[in-house]
Structures are given as structure tokens and as C-alpha cells.
Chains A and B, each alone.
Chain A
């Protein structure tokens, strides 16, 4: 029997040698015919839920990255602008300067189109997330769905408030109606704040998840919302939105100033640029404090994440951040100094020395801030240094030095503003000399104290530096601002104006510097957006839901920079589109209404900012 079987196999092998090609073809044909059976077999087994979908060539992660970043930038814009507009409206209401009201109205006009664009990108982002990351979205929905409902309700209320606020602007101008309009503006910001912090809870939960207790859906959502980085991100973002709103206003004014054709337009856009820059700087002064608090919370939450950001492969982002913030500080101060020399005739020589001193301090601080702990060096250079840390300058690469110089830069920028404020005025108060001496002493002592704390920080345990020294540095700087601002205001109350401020005389580079500042802020937001998201490394929800897609790796910094630049470009285009759409009606109005023909670019609201309207008793709307 066995012999029979062996003979049969031998015959088959011999036959296969003779008819190998035919047999191989037969086997392939049988295999092909059998393929559908595999599909049926696969259908028979329960299908696993889809975890990821991809976009060919572009990649789903890149699509989400760009859309999410654009949505965030637009959201920052539509949350920053109402704050900006409301503050301007309140200034006009309390101070009687009508041009502030016009400015507020002009920017509120943008909100309707900006709001719909933001919502559009939010919708696209949501659809994309559901399509590309179904597993993750399922997980997050399971935890956060109660807050989804609150978010929707807030959206409805916010939209209704915006409509009433915008369309009721002209009819609610005087008396009690104006008070109600101001209240509406406040409510608009109030709802906007909650619209911001609810999605923040979803994003921050992904970075710093907490153990979710058993309980009702609401209790679970609340536990997940109150995660360690939620409030630091809320505060950081709200300040950043003020900065973004201010600088975008400045950039818009800068562009309009450069293309202005009449003296009135030049006056108005010059003034608008000043207001935008002022609000941007006002927020910028507080931003590093908020950023420091956020980073401290991240470090405390998880050492791994903290080191990835500040010492690991993402630490280079903070050198880029230092460069961008440095340009922003230099740009803002430059704009103040241009304002002093061009708007206040005859002051160029008088303030040149203080400007030089402030510039030198700013540059020295920036040099320290931009010096990395581990330097970019060739092998030869590294060997000469004894490693990638420079033995002398390496000490400048850590937080003690960075915190010190950021505080000093804030102090200098604040003094730049004070100098601008005081320019062209002469003190008449009898106590002016003493007040100025006190202010000078406060400033010098504060600067020395900040430096001493910074140096001392190297010789104490990290926790003392972080909890006490850095906090003290911040409090000292805030103390300086809170002391010098009211003192200056009191001095200026009785001061004599020696040189009137002249608007519309700024050189073109002032307009370009405003545009540059706005681009720096947008780049900064895209950079830090990437840092916050990348710090989760290969986790969708840090330590809980692992990224198992083909994109579970951090892109190279050069590649990431390319996407950041792309996002910045797209956002600038979208904002330009929003401004164009919002002012299109005014242009048409300008053509059809012969009465307003003297305003070639339409924009009657803007032209209303000519100084004539500032005179009390003249109401033109």
C-alpha cells in the first residue's frame, strides 16, 4: 500500500516536470477562482469596527492638522475681536470719543462673516474627525456628550446675541439703549468665553486625561473636563485671542494705511494701527506669564511630556518661539518709537537716547532668550566646546535665564508705551519731580530685583525657583505696571501739551511693521499648536488611547514648519477674504450714494473717525 502511494507521488512529480507550466497555470486559475470564497469567508466573520480612514497622497493627519489649525486661528479671531470691539465701545461710551465707537462697529461688522467661516471650518473639522478617526471620536463622544449639548445651546445663544448686537448698533446708540447695547456686548463675550473653554476641555483631556469616576454621564464629563491643563490653557488662549485680535486689527489698519488716498483715510488708519498695536501689546505683556503657568502644569502632570516639550525633541520649537516673540517685541517697540518720532514733531532727537538704551536691553535679552542649552555645532566645534553645551553660555539655556529676560523685555516694552504716552507733554504738577524720581527708582529696583532672582534661581532647588522666584519676578513686573500707570495718568491729567499729536504722518514701514507683527502672532499660534499636539507623541489620549494609525510618529521639525507656514498663509488669505466681503457693501454704497462720494473707498464708518467727530456735540450718525 505504501509502495503504491509512493509510486503515485513519484508519477505525479514526473508528470509535473513534463507538464509543469500547464499545472502551474491550473493552480493559478484555481486560486483566482477561489478568491471570492475568501471574501465570503471574510464576510462571514464579524467585521472589526473601522479605526482609521486615510486620504491618498495628502494623508488624513495633514488634512486634520491644517483644518484644525485654521479653525483654531479663526476661533481665536472671532473670540478676540468681540473683546477688542467691546472695550473700544466702552471707551467711547465712557470717554465720549466717538471714533472708538466707529472702530468697534467696524470690527463687529466683520464678525458675522467671520463667525460663519469659523463655524464652517468647525463643521468640516468635525466631519473629517468622524470620518478619519472614528474610534477616537467614539471614545471622546462617550465621555463628553453632555458638554456637546451645552456647546450647541451656547452657540445658539451666542449667535442670537451677535445678531442683536450688530443689527441693533445704530438704533441703540443713546441713553438706556446704549447701556443695554454695552450689556449685550458683555454677554457676547461672556458666551464666547464658554464657547472657548468647552472645546478646550476636549483638547486638554487628550493631553492630560484624568481618571474618570463612575457615575452619571454629567459627572463623568465634568470629571474629564476638570483636567490639570484645562484652566492654564483657558487663560493662555483668552490672552492670546486678545493679542491676535489686536494685531490683526493693526495689520488691517497697516494695509489700509499703505493704500490710503485721502488725508482723512491716512489719519484714521494711522490711529487704528495705534489702537491695534496697543491692544496687542497689552495682551502680549501678560502672555509669557500664562505660558509659564501652562508649562509648569504640564511638567507637574507628567514629567515625560514636560521633558518632551522643554528638553526633548520639541525643545527646538521654543528657540523658534523665542525668535518669533523677539521679533514681536522688537516690532511693537519699533512701532511705538516710530509713533514718537513721526506723530510728535520735534521729538526725534529728544527720545533717541532712551530708545537706544531700550533697544540695547531688548537685544541683550533676546540674545539670552534665543541661546539654546544644546547648541547647533559641527563635530569639530562640539569637540572644542567639550560637548554640545557651551561651558559659559550654556547657563543661558535654562528657564531661570529665560524667565528673567522675558520679564525684562516686558518691563522695557511697558516703558516704551509710557514714553509714548508722555511724549509731547510737559508736567505742571508741583510733585512731578518727586513722582518721576519715584517711578525711576521703582523701575531700576524692579529690574535689579528681577535679575537677582534670576541669578539666584541657579543656586536653589528647582521647586523654590519655580514656585517662589519666578512668581516673584512676575509679581514685581505687575507691581511696576500697577504703580507707574496710575502715577503717569495722574501726572498727565495736569500736564500741558507742548506738541500736538499729528496722525497720518507715519512712514510706510510703520504699516509694514504692523503686518509683520500680525504674521508673527499667527506663526506663533501655529507653532505652539503643533507643540501642544505633538507633546502627546503616539497617543490620541495621553497614556489611554494609543495612536495605532500609520501616522503614529512625530513629523520632522522642518516638515512641521512647512505645514505651519501653509496654515499661516491660508489664514491670512481667509482673513483678507473676510475683510473684503465685509466691506464690499460699503464700497457699493459709496458708489450709489452721491452724498458719500467724498469717501472713495466707501467704509463710511471708518471715515467717520476723522478728528472732526471727536468734537463734542457733533453727531453724524
Chain B
């Protein structure tokens, strides 16, 4: 099997795995095209690196391509060569046009998930003492106000969660609240979706502005309850 065929096969197999196998792994989901493209780019780069690391392998890979392109001893493939030489630039042009032309497709989802909190919240620490009672109280408040969306198991799968896009945050995921300080959560709960700064645009968050409903002390207790219930710890520096 020639190296060119190997490269094509490698990319096809990689694509099939990313497109059809990985999404069907339990707990997974379809990958966006941007990520599939990135991985295919890596696969191709890796192949090219290995194919050109020695004179022999380079000749084996690049030699036939070069001879075909310059028309050197390719016999009956001359017509195909002309087809490639004409079609390839056209294909590139078409692709360029497609990627730059005005389209009615909505823009990509690229909002900032973790916009920086305002300065007045950045240095806050939880004023409520961390005791079993306060944590329990926090869990109680959480059950009343937060669990309909964020779920009784803190996994973002509350009874109302299906109605939201994007879905409510999954606190049990170690890449969400475990990466943040308590003050960040305090700001997000207090100010809600409407309190997001301009860098968080478009403001796709249905989080209520809880400062209108809950006193600060309750919010701090909810935060303690959330971390405890989700088996996570807030980011600290001590």
C-alpha cells in the first residue's frame, strides 16, 4: 500500500471514529466540525512529518505526487493531470467563496463562558462560618430555589432544565465550580444572567437575579451547600 493511500485511509478512519464512534460512547455527544477539523489537521501533519523524515520515505510519498504534477512519465494519466490542475484551484476558490460569502446561517456559538467578575466581587470571601448547620441550611435553600434547574443531584438535570439552551451548569462536573472561587459564584447568583458584563455577550443565561429575592447571607449559604452537595471544593489560595 502506497503512502498516499495510507494518508487517505488514516484520515478517513480518524474521521469515522470522530464522527460516528466517539459520539456513541456513553456520556458523549457529537463533536463540532471545528474540533474534527483540528484533529484531522494533526493526523495529516503527523503523517507528513513521518513521511518526510528520511530521503527514502520522502521519495516514496512525494515522488509520485511530484511526477504526476509535472507530468513526468505518467503515460495515460495526462488527461487526469489536467483535470486536477484545473479543478483544484477551482475547488479552493469555491471553498474560499463559501467561507466568506454572506450566509443566512446564524453565527457560531462563541460567547465567553466565564467572564471576569467585577472588581468589587473579586476579593470577597464567604462571611458565613462553615459548619454542618450552615451547610445544611444552604442545601435547603438550594433545594428550594436552585434545584428545579440545577438538579437535586447538582448535575444540571433539574425538572426545568430541558427548557433551557444552554442548559443549567452541572456542578458535579469538576471543570465548573471547582475551578472558581466562592466570590465568583456569589456574583453570578446575585446578579444573574442580566448582570453579565459585555464580554459575556450574547447574554444567553436564564439565571435569575437572586439579589431581588434572597439576602446575601442565604446566597453564601447556598454556595456552601452547592460545593458540599456536588463533592467539590472552591478554588482557594490557602
Contact = CB atoms under 8 A, between A and B. Distances in A.
B129 interface: no
B50 A463 contact: no
B167 to A, nearest CB: 5
Interface stretch (A14-22, A43-51, A362-370, A443-451): A362-370
B123 A303 contact: yes
A305 B175 CA distance: 19
B115 interface: yes
A286 B43 CA distance: 27
Interface stretch (B138-146, B210-218, B229-237): B229-237
B115 A507 contact: no
B116 A308 contact: yes
Nearest to A338: B53
Given A312-B114, A360-B46, A392 B123 contact: no
B29 A304 contact: no
Given A308-B116, A388-B113, A381 B32 contact: yes
A311 B179 contact: yes
A459 to B, nearest CB: 7
B108 A305 contact: no
Contacts of B235: 461-463
Contacts of A379: 106, 108-109
Given A312-B199, A391-B28, A395-B174, A304 B49 contact: no
A186 to B, nearest CB: 38
Contacts of B203: none
Interface string B177-204: 0110101100000000000000100000
B5 interface: no
Interface in B1-40: 22, 25, 27-35, 38-39
Interface in A331-388: 334, 337-338, 341-342, 348, 352, 355-356, 359-360, 362-363, 366-367, 370-371, 373-379, 381-388
A370 B123 CA distance: 31
Interface in B34-63: 34-35, 38-39, 42-43, 45-46, 49-50, 52-58
B112 A312 contact: yes
Interface in A373-417: 373-379, 381-395, 397-398
B148 interface: no
Contacts of B174: 395, 398, 458-459
B30 A385 contact: yes
B53 A355 contact: yes
Between B27, B119, B123, the greatest number of chain A beta carbons within 10 A of the residue's beta carbon is seen for B119
A375 B175 contact: no
A182 B178 CA distance: 52
B165 interface: yes
A140 interface: no
A388 B25 contact: no
Interface string B101-117: 00001101111111111
Contacts of A461: 178, 233-236
B34 A376 contact: yes
A515 interface: no
Given A313-B112, A341-B54, A388 B35 contact: no
A359 B50 contact: yes
Between A375, A378, A462, the greatest number of chain B beta carbons within 10 A of the residue's beta carbon is seen for A462
A313 B199 CA distance: 7
Contacts of A385: 29-30, 32
Contacts of B31: 390, 393
A509 interface: yes
B166 interface: yes
A391 B29 contact: yes
B133 interface: no
Contacts of A374: 110, 112-113
A307 B181 CA distance: 10
A240 interface: no
Nearest to A537: B116
Contacts of B72: none
A17 B117 CA distance: 60
Contacts of B55: 341-342, 348, 507
B115 A391 contact: no
Interface string B58-80: 10000000000000000000000
Given A303-B122, A376-B32, A392 B25 contact: yes
Nearest to B56: A348
Interface in A519-542: 537
Nearest to A316: B110
Nearest to B176: A389
A378 B35 contact: no
B236 A378 contact: no
A330 interface: yes
A311 B175 CA distance: 11
A543 interface: yes
Contact of A509 (B35, B52, B105, B233): B52
A302 interface: yes
Given A303-B117, A381-B30, A387 B46 contact: no
Contact of A392 (B27, B109, B111): B27
Interface in A455-475: 458-463
A304 B117 contact: yes
B49 A359 contact: yes
A412 B205 CA distance: 43
Given A307-B114, A307-B117, A462-B235, A393 B35 contact: yes
A337 B115 contact: no
Contacts of A376: 32, 34-35, 108-110
A303 B184 contact: yes
Contacts of B49: 330, 334, 359
Contacts of B115: 307, 312-313
29 contacts: A302-B122, A303-B116, A304-B117, A304-B118, A307-B116, A311-B116, A311-B179, A315-B114, A342-B54, A348-B55, A355-B50, A363-B46, A367-B39, A367-B42, A370-B38, A371-B35, A373-B113, A376-B108, A378-B109, A382-B165, A390-B29, A392-B27, A392-B28, A395-B175, A459-B174, A462-B179, A463-B233, A463-B238, A537-B116
List of 9 A-B pairs having minimum Cβ-Cβ separation, nearest first: A311-B114, A461-B233, A377-B32, A348-B54, A462-B235, A392-B28, A387-B166, A382-B109, A376-B34
Interface of B: 22, 25, 27-35, 38-39, 42-43, 45-46, 49-50, 52-58, 105-106, 108-119, 122-123, 165-167, 173-175, 178-179, 181, 183-184, 199, 233-238
